[in-house]
């Protein structure tokens, strides 16, 4: 179809603009699109935005803050989806410099969710002239938003009725429609969700990239928090961006030589050490499956246990044999770590796409653990099938696997039975039933509709409909703030309990992963040590999302010289690389401390944003007891030596004289108290009140004491 | 006995090497830094470097990531 004929039939609104050159990592303006009333506008990027919010997640939060009201809910028209890469996004000289960060008010948590993805959308958006896009409003029919940096046009088009619903078909359909030749395909990217996003609260976004070697599309997911659900609620079928060809200097860095030198050094490190360290280039993050099992940290049977004898059936070696090897599987140009592997030529075995031959992107560690071990499914074929369908339906694999583990425990505990599940026998390991639930979620029918509510929604539903014991559900339901946990067992690491609980968006590992430092290395023996780590690492890791960086190159390949550094866990020579790249791109000379300061401003702004929306206080940082200690006698007994010793050593008790119930109860009192003490220490370190509110002086020191921000916190001081 | 990471007491055995100790501890993560009595041990020495009785062993796992 030509653009002219499309225009005549389907364009609801159109905006033309001059594509200005990127300067030092910034296009200099953001794009506003309202799919409800057809308003399309350009907004300037101010110096204040660059100084305080940097880009990426910072820009997302600033634009979202100004777009929504105090009482905005996820499905209100004024809720927005904002997408931005950041000033370093689109750099091709340093590995992992093409991430996009998305934010919206989440249907799972009712507060701001941020989620990042690979794929080409964010960098191409910038090269099409925009540092961010914010979409608002609700269309009354399915629409496609097209941002064309080759013609300088933005259009809202009606999506034809024959447009497919699920991503693996829809993405291809979009490519055929909007990118006629090979060159256009290379510089076109889409964001889509899928039918599962329409029917569940845990919808994800698929960011496409055109894989030149395969001459086909790949997808990377912004999975967390239900952003796909918001996209489909707005009746946006897809966002499509096209830019002019990308070159090594498209991001127009202030000092190309500086970033090239830093990048070359890092590429050497990757080539030399990845093969003898984590082997990301051949196995991706799947190497973690066996490692986590070895350290008793792999979630098994709804996080009850940390290991299982069948783990070798889904470990990294299995995936290495299945992943197509020898292809440059980076999710943006120049990523030599290239961990974004795929299984090619997979024949779909069930559901509406049965018999199709597809590429399955992944699975990554989180997916394998979530839909595999956590559900007692140790069959790689089933893991692949679920991975494929979650992605194409637009369902977050982490939320799906964690929610299904909860359902399976409820089934085995008698909370659910076949009458309530519509005949599905959902005990741990029931692969067919797991797939049946997933297909029901794709169609929005039967028991799948209930699971699609997410764990918090299910807890409410089970109490209301089946009069279930709310405390039991609270104990075993692995969600906090409404978001399902990502895949690490935290019972023995108090610091990581905080790493999940004391987050802005909910329990996801991208803020802090402290289990080894705390549990194995014993580097955080005191509350102050833990609080310091729960200050530094969340800020540091937030910083990646401000700039468009992937975190993996920071710590998944490390030069041996790091062993001699004063703080090896921070990987100081890589931190210095980021100082070089940020300075080299933006021309703003910074130190490693400046990076933390930048992130701290945005982090606190997000905390205040949550408070503004009616959450973000101490009570909202509560976590389920399953993440703290053993909920059931069976769980206690499975690690009885460990727990008994703690009762003896920490509490001076004599476990041999106590019943299992008494021991569990004593341990619970102790561990819950420890978590409260941890909260006190962390809030103090972060400059927050005992209720978790950033103080005025903290806001002032960070330079974010804007009147509307101060007004929010003053209500709680 | 030897002390690992200032916390865990591990029984010493005749001929104990760093590699054998890591195996006993099931420390399989590849990105670690090992020191014995304050002295760093290179990866290629794990199989030969002896761990004496009463040693203070630190095994720093580097992943602060996930
Ligand atoms: S390290 Fe892996 S996830 Fe990160 S940008 Fe590179 S390929 Fe993508």
Query: Which CATH number is A438's domain given?
Result: 1.10.569.10
For A192-221, how does the pLDDT look when each residue is reduced to its tens digit (9 = 90+)?
A: 999 999 999 999 999 999 999 999 999 999
Q: Determine which of A276, A280, A281, A520 to mutate to test the interface with B (most B C-beta atoms within 10 Å).
A: A520
Residues A479 and A523 in one domain: no
* pLDDT at residue A276, as a whole number: 87
Q: What is the DSSP letter of A347?
A: E
Model pLDDT, residue A32: 98
With respect to residue A369, please indicate whether it lies within any of the assigned structural domains: yes
Q: Which residues of B touch A (CB under 8 A)?
A: 5-7, 26-31, 33, 40, 42-43, 58-66
- Whether residues B62 and A294 touch (CB distance < 8 A) is answered with no
A276 near B CB under 8 A: yes
Q: Can you tell me the distance from the alpha carbon of A65 to that of A82, in angstroms, rounded to the nearest whole number? A: 11
A537 with A430, same domain: the answer is no
Checking if the pLDDT of A6 tops 80, the result is no
The per-residue pLDDT for range A440-479, each reduced to its tens digit, is 999 999 999 999 999 999 999 999 999 999 999 999 999 9
Which of A555, A562, A563 is opposite residue B63, by nearest beta carbon? A555
CA distance A428 to A199: 24
Q: pLDDT at position A7, please?
A: 53
- Shortest CA distance to A362 belongs to which of A403, A397, A393? A397
- A11-40 confidence digits (pLDDT tens): 999 999 999 899 999 999 999 999 999 999
Domain ranges of chain B: 2-61
For residue A408, is pLDDT > 90?
A: yes
Cβ-based neighbours of A162, under 8 Å, separated by 6 or more: none
Among A220, A242, A264, residue at a domain's last position? A242
Which residues of chain B neighbour A569 with C-beta distances below 8 Å?
60, 62, 64
List Cβ neighbours of A10 (8 Å cut-off, separation of 6 or more).
Answer: A157, A158, A160
Mutate which: A495, A522, A539, A649, vs B, most B CBs within 10 A:
A522
pLDDT at A431 > cutoff 60: yes
A624-657 pLDDT, tens digit each = 999 999 999 999 999 999 999 999 999 999 999 9
Under a CB-based contact definition with an 8 Å cutoff, are residues A304 and B38 in contact?
no
Which residue in A34, A223, A7, A4 sits closest to A119, CA to CA? A223
Q: Whole-angstrom Cα distance, residue A127 to residue A97?
A: 14
Judge if A312 and A406 occupy the same domain. yes
Residues facing residue A625 across a β-bridge: none
Pair of tokens at residue A137: 């409003």
pLDDT on residue A272:
93
Nearest atom in ligand 1 to A284's CA: 2
Q: Are A479 and A624 in contact (CB under 8 A)?
A: yes
**Cβ contact A299:A489 at 8 Å:** yes
User: How many interface pairs between A and B have CB atoms less than 8 angstroms apart?
Assistant: 72
Pick from B5, B28, B40: CB nearest A521: B5
Last-in-domain residue among A432, A456, A484: A484
For domain B2-61, give the fold: Ubiquitin-like (UB roll) (3.10.20)
Which atom of ligand 1 approaches the CA of A95 most closely? 6
Q: What is the number of structural domains in chain A?
A: 3
Closest ligand 1 atom to Cα of A339 = 2
For residues A470 and A517, state if they share a domain. Answer: no
List chain B pLDDT tens, one digit each, 66 residues: 999 999 999 999 999 999 999 999 999 998 899 999 999 999 999 999 999 999 999 999 987 555
The percentage of chain A sitting over the pLDDT mark of 70, rounded to a whole number, equals: 99
The arithmetic mean of pLDDT across residues A263-280, rounded, is 92
Nearest CA among A77, A83, A75, A237 for reference residue A157: A237
Structure tokens at A548: 């468009």
Tokens of A334: 């120049």
Q: Give the span between the Cα atoms of A385 and A402, in whole angstroms.
A: 17
Residues of chain B neighbouring A306 (CB-CB closer than 8 A): none
Asked whether the whole model's pTM tops 0.90, one would answer yes
Both A549 and A671 in one domain: the answer is yes
Burial label, A586 (beta-carbon count in 10 A; 0-12, 13-18, 19+): buried
pLDDT, residue A213, reads: 92
Q: Do both A156 and A101 map to the same domain? A: yes
Quick check: A61 pLDDT over 70?
A: yes
Which pLDDT belongs to residue A556? Answer: 87
| DSSP character string of A145-165 | EEEETTTTEEEEEEPPTTS-S
| Distance in Å, CA A371 to ligand 1 centroid | 22
Measured distance CA(A499)–CA(A297) in Å, rounded: 15
pLDDT above 50 (res A1)? no
User: Is the pLDDT score of A154 beyond 70?
Assistant: yes
Is residue A295 within 8 angstroms of chain B, CB to CB? yes
The predicted-structure confidence for A593-629, as pLDDT tens digits, reads as follows 999 999 999 999 999 999 999 999 999 999 999 999 9
Closest C-alpha residue for ligand 1 atom 8: A331
Residue A580 resides in a domain = no
Q: A648 and A598: one domain? A: yes
Whether residue A494 contacts residue A517, with contact meaning beta carbons closer than 8 Å, is answered with no
Q: Which residue range is the domain that position A337 belongs to? A: 278-484
Q: Determine the angle formed by the axes of helices A592-612 and A57-67, rounding to 10 degrees.
A: 30
For residue A394, report the distance from its CA to the centre of ligand 1, in Å: 21
> What DSSP character marks residue A52?
I
Cβ <8 Å between A537 and B5: no
Q: Which two tokens stand for residue A353?
A: 């796409």
Question: How many other C-beta atoms can be found within 10 angstroms of the C-beta atom of residue A273?
Answer: 16
Same domain, A236 and A346: no
pLDDT at residue A79, as a whole number: 98
Q: Are residues A101 and A167 in the same domain?
A: yes
Report the range of poorest mean pLDDT among A480-484, A563-567, A640-644: A563-567
Inter-axis angle of helices A660-686 and A640-651, nearest 10: 70
ipTM of this predicted structure: 0.94
Question: Residue A172 burial by CB count (10 A; 0-12/13-18/19+): exposed, middle or buried?
Answer: middle
Regarding whether A206 and A316 lie in a shared domain, the answer is no
Q: Are residues A29 and A164 in the same domain?
A: yes
The pLDDT tens digits for A506-561 are: 999 988 899 999 999 999 999 999 999 999 999 999 999 999 999 999 988 889 88
Query: Among candidates A147, A150, A190, which has minimal Cα distance to A172?
Result: A190
Calculate how close chain A gets to B38, using CA atoms only, in Å. Answer: 12
Identify the closest residue of chain A to B24 by CA–CA distance.
Answer: A294
């Amino acid at each position: 179809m030509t653009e002219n004929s499309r225009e005549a039939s389907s364009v609801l609104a159109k905006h033309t603009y001059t594509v200005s050159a990127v300067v030092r990592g910034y296009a200099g303006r953001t794009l506003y699109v309202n799919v409800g009333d057809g308003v399309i506008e350009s907004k300037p990027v101010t110096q204040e935005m660059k100084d305080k919010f940097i880009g990426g997640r910072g820009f997302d939060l600033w634009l979202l803050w100004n777009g929504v009201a105090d009482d905005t809910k996820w499905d209100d028209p004024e809720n927005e989806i904002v997408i931005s890469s950041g000033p370093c996004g689109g750099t091709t000289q340093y590995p992992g410099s093409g991430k996009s960060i998305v934010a919206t008010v989440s249907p799972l948590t009712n507060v701001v969710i941020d989620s990042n993805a690979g794929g080409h959308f964010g960098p191409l958006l910038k090269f099409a002239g925009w540092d961010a896009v914010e979409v608002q409003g609700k269309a009354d029919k399915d629409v496609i938003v097209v941002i064309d940096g080759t013609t300088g046009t933005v259009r809202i088009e009606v999506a034809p009725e024959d447009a497919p619903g699920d991503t693996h078909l829809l993405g291809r359909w979009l490519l055929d429609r909007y990118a006629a030749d090979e060159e256009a395909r290379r510089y076109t990217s889409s964001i889509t969700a899928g039918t599962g996003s329409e029917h569940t609260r845990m919808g994800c976004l698929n960011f496409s990239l055109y894989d030149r070697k395969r001459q086909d599309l790949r997808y990377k997911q912004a999975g967390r928090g239900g952003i796909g659900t918001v996209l489909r609620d707005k009746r946006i079928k897809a966002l499509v961006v096209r830019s002019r060809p990308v070159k090594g200097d498209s991001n127009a860095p202030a000092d190309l030589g500086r970033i090239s030198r830093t990048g070359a050094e890092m590429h050497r490190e990757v080539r030399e050490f990845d093969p003898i360290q984590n082997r990301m280039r051949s196995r991706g993050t799947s190497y973690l499956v066996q490692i986590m099992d070895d350290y008793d940290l792999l979630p098994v049977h709804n996080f009850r246990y940390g290991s299982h004898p069948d783990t070798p059936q889904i470990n990294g070696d299995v995936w290495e044999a299945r992943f197509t090897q020898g292809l440059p599987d980076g999710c943006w140009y120049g990523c030599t770590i290239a961990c974004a592997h795929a299984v090619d030529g997979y024949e779909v075995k069930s559901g509406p796409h049965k018999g199709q031959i597809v590429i399955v992107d992944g699975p990554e560690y989180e997916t394998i653990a979530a839909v595999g071990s956590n559900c007692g499914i140790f069959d790689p074929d089933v893991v692949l099938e679920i991975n494929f369908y979650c992605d194409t339906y637009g369902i977050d694999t982490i939320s799906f696997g964690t929610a299904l583990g909860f359902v399976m425990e409820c089934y085995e505990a008698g909370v659910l039975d076949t009458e309530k599940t519509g005949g599905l026998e959902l005990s741990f390991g029931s692969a067919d039933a797991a797939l049946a639930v997933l297909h029901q979620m794709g169609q929005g029918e039967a028991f799948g509709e209930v699971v699609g509510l997410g764990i918090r929604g299910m807890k409410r539903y089970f109490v209301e409909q089946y009069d279930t014991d709310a405390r039991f559900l609270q104990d075993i339901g692995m969600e906090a703030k409404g978001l399902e946990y990502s895949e690490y067992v935290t019972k023995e690491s108090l610091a990581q309990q905080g790493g999940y609980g004391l987050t802005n968006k909910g329990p996801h590992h991208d803020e802090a992963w402290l289990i080894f430092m705390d549990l194995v290395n014993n580097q955080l023996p005191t509350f102050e040590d833990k609080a310091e780590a729960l200050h530094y690492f969340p800020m540091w890791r937030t910083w990646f999302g401000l700039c468009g960086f992937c975190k993996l190159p920071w710590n998944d390949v490390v030069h041996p010289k790091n062993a001699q550094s004063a703080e090896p866990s921070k990987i100081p020579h890589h931190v210095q690389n980021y100082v070089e790249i940020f300075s080299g791109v933006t021309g703003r000379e910074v130190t490693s401390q400046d990076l933390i300061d930048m992130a701290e401003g945005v982090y606190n702004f997000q905390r205040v944003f949550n408070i503004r929306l009616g959450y973000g206080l101490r009570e909202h940082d509560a976590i389920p007891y399953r993440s703290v200690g053993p909920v059931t006698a069976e769980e206690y007994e499975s690690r009885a030596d460990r727990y008994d010793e703690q009762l003896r050593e920490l509490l001076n008790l004599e476990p041999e004289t106590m019943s299992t119930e008494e021991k569990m109860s004593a341990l619970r009192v102790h561990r819950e108290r420890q978590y409260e003490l941890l909260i006190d220490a962390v809030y103090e370190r972060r400059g927050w009140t005992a209720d978790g509110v950033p103080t005025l002086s903290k806001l002032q020191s960070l330079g974010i004491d804007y009147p509307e921000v101060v007004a929010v916190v003053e209500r709680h001081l | 006995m030897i002390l690992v990471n200032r916390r865990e007491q591990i029984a010493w055995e005749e001929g104990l090497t760093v590699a054998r100790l890591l195996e006993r501890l099931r420390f399989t993560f590849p990105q670690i830094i090992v020191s014995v009595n304050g002295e760093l041990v290179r990866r290629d020495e794990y199989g030969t470097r002896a761990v004496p009785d009463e040693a203070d062993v630190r095994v720093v796992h580097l992943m602060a990531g996930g």
